[in-house]
Structures are given as structure tokens and as C-alpha cells.
Amino acid sequence: MTIPPSWSRRRFLGLVPAVSLLAACSTAAPTGGGRTLRIGVAAGPSNLNPLDSGSEVTRWIAEPVMETLYDYDERVRSVPLLAAAEPAVSADGLTWTIPLKRGVTFHNGDAFTAEHVVASLDHVAAFASGSEWVVYFLGYYSGARAVDPNTVEIRLKRPYGLLRSHLTNLPITHRAFVDRKDTMMGTGPYRLARVSAGLGYSMTAHRGYHGPSPAYARLEFQIIPDGSTRAVNLRAGSVDIATELPVAALPLLAGQQAVTVHRVDAPIDILTYVKAGDPPFDDPNFRRAVAYAVDRQGVNDKVFGGAAVLGQGPIGPAERGYDPDLRVFPARPDTARARELLHGVTAPSFTLTISAGQVMEDIAQILVQSWAHAGITVKLEVLQGGPWAQRWISGAYQMIMNRFSSGFTSGDANYLTLSPAQSTSVLACGYENPSVDTALERVWAIDDQGERDRLLREVNATLTEDAVMFPPVYPKMIVAQRASVSPMDPARMKISRLGTPRLRPEGNAGE
């Protein structure tokens, strides 16, 4: 590159601040409305297949496109959607027969039949698929077959009561699309029309939808990585719904008559656990010292603006088995107690591996500082999503932390989050407690929800007291919407969904 002779280096350098100032002053012009629902999301997933990924954005995009055999009603009870009725379970509990709804078509015009359900189930149960669901199906799922085009039969290796929950959360895709990661094919009210890498996803109404006609002609998921920018876009009317709003962005929406901010207790976990089988966390006192030194109040105040619930064990207030009376660790760090528990440990230290992102980085930095006050040196390791997941699955970590929405796979529970505590799980963290193993086995096997909740409470208390899983807080789901859209359904948000298939334009907006 040669700078033209008429432009001296000095002249160019002198212009740098002026150019920077001009760039800072520029703003994006708002786009127009129409019968299009526009949703601002933080990221664009690399894998669009919701059978593989339970990431929030993948599932939010999949929500209007793909459907499940059963769905949640307004009271979060499971009711048939693509299934025609409740499953018929054999006396030994090992065979489930499900009648399917007739007259349903995929977006490509193919009829929805039992073959597609079988393909979807086989995909998530195969270890090679890399699906998050494999943790649920491994060891239980034996196979599935199409009895006839409208009946599917699932065979199990052992009784598996939790399967009913999975059938309510597992999206069903076209059998030709089970391995596709770049697109979605479903039976939902909207079909995925276009994927613009790094920009967003467009959907159009599926005119042959088997349920009520879609209210919008188009749906657009726009990728807006910065939370404040999502809030500003919502305020300006460039999007109708803004997801994952950080607390710091909420003042931007204060006093806006056309905007409603929803703060909902949802099954969102700050997945926080230690490699209990390896040093230094194989020492229960070391684990407890670390848990006592956590500044829960600091995380709540500074990262969540005081809106979260202080954390104790792995189960949060929106999840089955939560015990509001469980109080093991203090809100503020108890450094004296931590130092007492660390007596005899020379130079206590460990590495905390987190997934990159403003919220996780802020939480981690507060924790590192609070542990430093207790004399624990913590090295922070920030990894992108993919490398973080590799560490998680391979078990190459000392303490690991990430944000995880359990609702997409478990509804109002967080079964997957608990599985590392089970010594036989593929995600096992090295913690060995026969009573926890037995309790979790029963949680997965039985279909008595009351008994399951009781067992979950026990497991939660044990894992808290043993300091195996100790999230600093239980965050809320924060989503904001414009008044031009019908109110979002709190029941859907309680299971981390946006409820986009049922949203419709309000008033004369959107016309």
C-alpha cells in the first residue's frame, strides 16, 4: 500500500480522531414494520439442528418451525401436539406406543408419519450424533419402529418415566434432515426460508399448518450481539422482541410506554461444578472452603442488579425440587470459615474454566476476587462455546461454569444439569455418592412426579452440602417486547420459551 503523495502521513494521522468521532456519531436507521415479527437475539448458532443442540438461540429459532409430540399448556401440563393421544405403556414399562396425529405435513409437503419420529429418536440416541440428548437416552433407549404410518412404538432397556418429559421437549424433524446442521425442517406454523450467516434467520408462514393459521406473514430473528444495542433497537421499534437483556441495558427501556420488560423465573442455570474426583476438589473441605468464599450477593448486585435469587445448590426456583429454605452458604463470603477449612492446604489454587460472554466473565471476575480474599488463587480460563463444550465433555477441567437453559430439554426441571453428579453419567464429574446415584436413578425411572420432586430435593441438599455444585445465583429470564405484539405468555417463558408461534399483532401495529 502506498499513501498518495498529496496525503502526508501527518495529515492522515491528524484526521484519525475526527474520523473516529464521526464513526461514533453514526447510527443505524430503523427499518419498517409490516406483518413481520422481528426478534433480536444475541448470537447465531453454528448448528441449527435442535436435535443436537439445546442452546437457547437454536431452540428459539426452532420453536416456530419444529414441533414436539406433546406440548405444554398454559398450566405447564403436557398435552398432545403431534401425538394424537397419551402413550400406551406396557405393563413392564418397556414399550411405549404412541398414536400420531393425521393430516400433518412438513414444510416440504411430505406427510408427517411414524418414520420421521423413529428417525428423530434414533438420531438423538446415537452416541455418534453428538446430540445433547444422548445423555438422556444412553442406557435406556433400545429402539423405535413404525407400527404403521400413524403409530410409533418405542422400546426401552429398562423403565424410564422421564421419557414422557422428553417426548414433550424433543423436536421432531423430517427423516431426511436429522443430520443436517444448516437448516430445519418441521411441521410448525412457520417454515425457515432463509439463513443469512451472521445476520439472522427469516421464516414465512406455513399455509398448510395443521393448527390455527399463523398470525404473521413473516418472522425474522435478527442477530444483535450486544445487549444494549438490542434494547436500543427495541426502543426504536427496529425489533419487536429483545431477548437476553442484560440488567445494565434495562434503564434504556425505562419509561417507554410501548415496551414491556418481562423478568421471569425460568430454568436458567449458572452451571457451576467442580471435578470432585481430582485434586484439589477431591478434598471435601477444599470444596466447602471455595463455596463459602463465593460472593453471591456481589454477583447478584453487580451482574443481575439484585434481581436474581441467591444460589445454594444446583436446583433453582423455577425448577422441580427447589427448596427455598435450603441455606448452607452465606450471601457474603465467609472468608474466616473458608480459611479455617483450608487449614493445612499450602497455596490453594485452581483454574476456573468459563464460556466467553459478558455475564459469565463478570460473574467469574467477582468470584476470582472473592476467592483471592480467602487466600485462594484462581486462574481464569475463558473459552469460546465449542472449546468450552469439549472441556466439559472430556472432563478436562477443575471447576467449570456456564449459563445453561435446562427448560428446552427438561421443561420445568433441570435433569441434565444434575447428571454430572451421577457417577455413571458420561458427564460424571468424579463425585461418588451411592445415595445420590440411587436417587437420580429413581428420578429418571419413575413416573410419579411427587416422588420425583421429593428425590430431587434430597439430591439438591446433598450436592449443596457436599459443595459439588454451587451456582452463585439463579438468574431470571429477561425479555422485552413492544406493545405492537400480543403479550408474551408467562407459562411459556417459565420453561425458557418465547412462545412465538402463538404471538399475534396487537392494535393497528404490524399492518
Partner 1 sequence: MSAVVSAPRGARLLPRDGLTWFGAVCAALFCLLAVLGPSLAGDPNATGSDVLAAPSLTHPFGTDQLGRDLLARTAAGTRVSLTVSLAAVALGLLVALPLGIFAGYHGGRLFDDLIMRVLEIVQALPMFVLAMFVIGLSGTATAHLGPIPITMTTKVVLLLGVAFVPYFARVARAATMAETGQEYVAALRVVGVPRLRILFGELLPNVAPAMVVQAFLAMALAVFAEGGLGFLGLGVQLPQATLGNLTGGGTGYLPAGVWWYSVLPGAVMLAGILGFNLIGDALSDSLGGRGTTHVETR
Nearest distance from residue 50's CB to partner 1, in Å? 26
Nearest distance from residue 401's CB to partner 1, in Å? 13
The span from the CA of 299 to the CA of 303, in Å, is: 5
Residue with cell 431426511: 176
Cβ burial, residue 245 (10 Å; 0-12/13-18/19+): buried
The span from the CA of 139 to the CA of 403, in Å, is: 27
Q: Report the residue number, 358 or 486, with the smaller CB distance to partner 1.
A: 358
| Interface positions with partner 1 (CB under 8 A) | 1-3, 9-10, 13-14, 16-17, 20, 226-229, 231-232, 246, 248-249, 251-252, 298, 301-303, 356, 358, 361-362, 364-366, 368-369, 372, 380-383, 387
Q: Report the residue number, 184 or 383, with the smaller CB distance to partner 1.
A: 383
Question: Of 183, 189, 221, 204, nearest to 51 (Cα)?
Answer: 183
Q: Report the residue number, 185 or 249, with the smaller CB distance to partner 1.
A: 249
SS3 for 365-407 is HHHHHHHHHCCCEEEEEEECHHHHHHHHHHCCCCEEEEEEECH
According to DSSP, residue 212 is labeled S
**Cα distances (angstroms) measured from residue 149 to each of 99, 111, 244, 336, 508:** 9, 9, 41, 66, 44
- Neighbouring C-beta atoms of residue 389, cutoff 10 Å: 17
Nearest distance from residue 231's CB to partner 1, in Å? 7
Question: Identity (one letter) of the amino acid at 244?
Answer: E
Q: Report the residue number, 342 or 366, with the smaller CB distance to partner 1.
A: 366
Q: Report the residue number, 310 or 368, with the smaller CB distance to partner 1.
A: 368
Nearest distance from residue 358's CB to partner 1, in Å? 6
Nearest distance from residue 384's CB to partner 1, in Å? 8
154 in helix, strand or coil? strand
The span from the CA of 322 to the CA of 314, in Å, is: 9
Nearest distance from residue 283's CB to partner 1, in Å? 24
The span from the CA of 455 to the CA of 74, in Å, is: 26
Nearest distance from residue 251's CB to partner 1, in Å? 6
**Cα distances (angstroms) measured from residue 183 to each of 67, 157, 223, 274, 416:** 15, 32, 16, 36, 25
- Neighbouring C-beta atoms of residue 29, cutoff 10 Å: 6
The span from the CA of 192 to the CA of 58, in Å, is: 12
Cβ burial, residue 32 (10 Å; 0-12/13-18/19+): exposed
Q: Report the residue number, 362 or 506, with the smaller CB distance to partner 1.
A: 362
Q: Report the residue number, 59 or 403, with the smaller CB distance to partner 1.
A: 403
Q: Report the residue number, 258 or 356, with the smaller CB distance to partner 1.
A: 356
Q: Report the residue number, 203 or 366, with the smaller CB distance to partner 1.
A: 366
Cβ burial, residue 363 (10 Å; 0-12/13-18/19+): buried
Nearest distance from residue 482's CB to partner 1, in Å? 17
Nearest distance from residue 249's CB to partner 1, in Å? 7
Cβ burial, residue 67 (10 Å; 0-12/13-18/19+): buried
Q: Report the residue number, 34 or 251, with the smaller CB distance to partner 1.
A: 251
